A and B are shown apart, each in its own frame.
Chain A
């Protein structure tokens, strides 16, 4: 039973090497990104950066912090995610429960996939047009609505995939007890799907909080923390963008610090969501 190097073993070794190479490239890129952000951002990251709004003149100055952008981003992505959730959960449940794999179900999924692929600057331009039509100026509200539009297809499709993976027998088990379709959806399907749904929400939130183009025209930028929906709001991606574009090395360093803060927020959300999802999946059928 000694191992001989037949062709199939050689093919396996080559393919395995290719897979490891791909993995190394991706893992290496991730490591490099993190290294760049940390090595350049950490020295400039001070307590005042996350506790103060910009000081000393214009918001691109070297003094103060970027609390305006941190709070602005959380408001924008939080509001956008909330609105997207209010619409996407019913859409996903309706798709699964009533449309299934019918023609209409197919077209709606296609439309959502197309929307998912549309660049966010297009959402930004669209949101801007809508705001002009409504007589709104760049504001927190405008940014939230635009981010909701951007996140809606992501969240809906992610939920749809989760819901579609639900075992058919489970639905039948609930129907056999005399449940209405709504009870099956609300009491059984949702519970089975909750971990996946939480993941979908946070996936959309992550996309929303990291997007610069969608909020460029619609939310604007300011060095103050907004106190109403009608005021403009700053955001971390735009803070990074503007600061990086300045010809002063001190400001550029602050851009990396801002990027680091954004990365930490996204990381915290993603780890938190995993923790929540694992707690929720206690009763879930595997």
Chain B
């Protein structure tokens, strides 16, 4: 397997409570990996270690290694902004920046200085809005406040904004849980379109969504990885009793 992210002996604690126990997994490149499991199993915690977001929560301890492209992102001299540029995050609820629709997408390009002039910015903003499937709906009002969009549109805007930073990896922390069914479908469709270009890791608590999206599955329970493997194998022929029980809806 061509692993884009490798997790080695990872343990995480909130205060004294252990949230992740000895995690050892590999995330395949340019596929959708779905992390699933019941509430409180540590799936979001695990996801947040991939872009060094977990440390933003007070009193967390993280021990172990997370390798992105073979580089441990928890080493001392790592530039955390560079990690987050490479590893984008689509949050649970869309949170636009207090700017216009245009500026939301241009923001990441501005801070990372990836474009040289106005025309390049304009083209890139249009491109990423198209990729996120939002352009047609907003093309006449790019300078309107981002908050004037519906929640579903805001989430697609957040996707465009994240892609504009040119990441290699997209993390999704239950990215459709705040959305209506149609908007969820939009987001799922985009994620499926994008998986050829980006390594994608999605946390979800809905089994049906996991089945729709996953190429590779990680099942977690009580802070441990119970089972990980290609989606077909895990869904059709789980090796662990606990995975089987979860798939049958027993949790």
Binding site for B on A (CB under 8 A): 167, 169-170, 172-180, 183, 187-188, 191-192, 282-286
CB neighbours (8 Å) of A173 from chain B are 91, 95-97, 158
Contact A284:B98 (CB < 8 A) given known A169-B91, A178-B165: yes
A177-B165, A283-B145 known; A170-B111 Cβ under 8 A: no
* CB neighbours of B100 from chain A (8 A): 283
Q: Contacts A187-B107, A283-B145, A283-B146 hold; do A180 and B81 have CB atoms under 8 A apart? A: yes
> What's the Cα separation between A218 and B51 when bound, in Å?
55
Q: What secondary structure prevails in chain A residues at the interface with B?
A: helix
Of listed B81, B88, B110, B161, residue having the most chain A CB within 10 A: B81
**CB-CB nearest 5 A-B residue pairs:** A178-B85, A178-B84, A176-B89, A173-B95, A192-B98
Question: Are B107 and A177 neighbours in the complex by a CB distance under 8 Å?
Answer: yes
With beta carbons under 8 angstroms apart, the residue of A178, A188, A282, A286 that contacts B97 is A188
Min distance, Cβ B88 to any Cβ of chain A, angstroms:
7
CA distance A192 to B107 in the complex (A): 14
- Chain B nearest CB from A197 CB (Å) reads 13
For the complex formed, measure the closest distance between the CB of B131 and the CB atoms of chain A, giving whole angstroms.
16
Give the residue name and chain of the A residue nearest to B89 (CB).
A176
Residues of A within 8 A of B146 (CB): 283
Q: A180-B81, A283-B147 are in contact. Are A175 and B56 (CB under 8 A)?
A: yes
Q: Is B238 engaged at the interface, CB distance under 8 Å to the other chain?
A: no
Tell me, in angstroms, the Cα distance from A183 to B146 when the chains sit together.
19
Bound-state CA distance A177–B105 (Å) is 11
List B residues at the A interface (Cβ < 8 Å).
Answer: 51, 53, 56, 81-85, 88-89, 91, 93, 95-100, 107-108, 110-112, 145-147, 158, 161-162, 165
Please tell me which one of the listed residues B51, B89, B96, B161 contacts residue A285 in the complex, with CB atoms under 8 A apart. B96
Of A169, A178, A183, A285, which one neighbours B98 at CB under 8 angstroms? A285
Cross-chain contact A179 with B145 (CB below 8 angstroms): no
Which residues from A are CB-within-8-Å of B107?
Answer: 174, 177, 187
Inter-chain contact A177/B84, CB cutoff 8 Å: yes
- The complex places the Cα of A285 from the Cα of B98 at a distance, in Å, of 6
A181 and chain B: residue at smallest CB distance: B81
Could you list some 9 contacts between A and B, CB below 8 A? A175-B84, A176-B84, A177-B85, A178-B82, A178-B108, A187-B110, A191-B97, A191-B98, A285-B95
Residues from chain B with Cβ under 8 Å of A188 in the complex: 97-98
Once the chains bind, are B145 and A178 in contact (CB under 8 Å)? Answer: no
Which residues of B are found within 8 Å of A183, using beta-carbon distances?
111
- Output the least CB separation between B101 and chain A (Å): 10
A169 to B97, CA, bound (A): 10
Say yes or no: A170 contacts B98, CB within 8 Å: yes
List, in ascending order, chain A residues with CB within 8 A of B81's CB.
178-180
| Complex interface: chain A residues within 8 A of B111 (CB) | 177-180, 183, 187
CA A191 to CA B147, docked complex, whole Å: 14
20 further contact pairs, Cβ within 8 A, besides A175-B84, A176-B91:
A172-B91, A172-B95, A173-B91, A173-B96, A173-B97, A175-B53, A176-B53, A177-B111, A177-B165, A178-B83, A178-B85, A179-B81, A179-B111, A180-B81, A183-B111, A282-B145, A283-B100, A285-B98, A285-B147, A286-B147
A282 (CB) vs chain B CBs: closest residue: B145
- Whole-angstrom distance between the Cβ of A189 and the nearest chain B Cβ: 9
Q: Are B112 and A170 in contact (CB under 8 A)?
A: no
Give bound CA distance, A167 to B96, whole Å. Answer: 11
For A171, the closest partner residue in chain B by CB is B56
Which of A170, A173, A282, A286 counts the most B-chain CB atoms under 10 A from its CB?
A: A173
A170's nearest neighbour on chain B, judged by CB, is B95
**Residue of B85, B95, B96 ringed by the most chain A CB atoms within 10 A:** B95
Task: Indicate if the CB atoms of A176 and B98 lie closer than 8 Å.
Answer: no
Note all chain B residues with C-beta closer than 8 A to A174: 97, 107
> A residues within 8 A CB of B112?
178
CA distance A176 to B51 in the complex (A): 8
Are B147 and A176 interface neighbours, CB within 8 A?
A: no
Contact between A283 and B84 (Cβ–Cβ < 8 Å)?
no
